[in-house]
Amino acid sequence: MDQEFSGEIIEWRGPAPYYFVPVPSRESAALRAAASTAGYNSWGMLPIRARLGSTEWKTSLWSKDGGYWLPLKDAVRKPEGLDAGDAVDLRLTFDAPARRPTKARRVPVPRTTGSREPVTDEQLTIVPANQATAADLETIFGTGDPARCSCQRFRMLPKESWASEGPEELAARLRDQTACGNPEAEATSGLIAYLDEGDLFRGGREAPRGEPVGWCAVAPRADHPRLRRDHRVPWLGRDEDKADGTVWAVTCFVPRAGYRRRGIGAALARATVGFARDRGARAIEGYPDFVDGGSVGTLAMFTDAGYAEVSRPGNRRAVVRIDF
Decide if 234 is inside a domain: yes
Looking at residue 108, its pLDDT comes to 39
**Please, how many CA atoms are within 13 Å of residue 19, restricted to the half-sphere of its CB?**
17
Q: Are residues 79 and 227 in the same domain?
A: no
Decide if 179 is inside a domain: yes
Grade residue 198 by pLDDT with cuts at 50, 70 and 90. low
- pLDDT tens, 96-113? 655 444 444 333 334 445
**Residue 313 belongs to a domain with what CATH number?**
3.40.630.30
Q: Would you list the DSSP string of 114-171?
A: ---PPP-GGGEEEEEGGGS-HHHHHHHHTTSHHHHHTT-TTTPPTT--HHHHHHHHHH
When divided into structural domains, the chain yields a total of 2
% of the chain exceeding 70 in pLDDT: 86
pLDDT, mean over the chain: 84
In one-letter notation, the amino acid at residue 124 is: L
- pLDDT tens, 114-173? 567 888 888 999 999 999 999 999 999 998 889 999 999 999 988 888 888 899 999 999
Range of weakest confidence among 153-167, 201-215, 240-254, 283-297: 201-215
Q: Are residues 70 and 181 in the same domain?
A: no
Residue 265 has pLDDT above 90, yes or no: yes
Domain residues for the domain of 9 are: 2-93
**Residue 15 belongs to a domain with what CATH number?**
2.40.30.100
